Amino acid sequence: MGLPELPIAGLQWIEPTVYRDERGCFFESFNERVFAELVGMPVRFVQDNQSLSRRGVLRGLHFQQMRPQGKLVRVLRGEVFDVVVDLRAGSPSYGQHVSVTMSAAEPRQLWIPPGFAHGFLVLSDEAELLYKTTDYWDPADERAIRWNDPDLAIAWPTGTEPLLSAKDRSAPSFAQARPVTV
Ligand X SMILES: Cc1cn([C@H]2C[C@H](O)[C@@H](COP(=O)(O)OP(=O)(O)O[C@H]3O[C@H](C)C(=O)[C@H](O)[C@H]3O)O2)c(=O)[nH]c1=O
Residues 6+ apart with CB under 8 A from 112: 11, 70, 71, 72, 73, 84, 118
- In angstroms, the CA 61 to CA 165 distance is 11
With CB under 6 A as the contact rule, the residue among 74, 88, 97, 118 that binds ligand X is 118
Taking CB under 6 A as the criterion, the residue among 36, 137, 151, 175 binding ligand X is 137
Nearest-CB residue for ligand X: 137
62 catalytic? Reply is yes
Query: Whose CA is closest to 79, among 125, 130, 140, 134?
Result: 125
Min dist CB 2 to ligand X, Å, is 26
The C-alpha atoms of residue 107 and residue 39 are separated, in whole angstroms, by 18
Give yes or no: 131 in active site.
yes
Q: Mark 78-117 with x for binding to ligand X (rule: CB under 6 A) and - for no binding.
A: ----------------------------------------
Residues 23-62 that bind ligand X (CB under 6 A): 49, 51, 59-60, 62
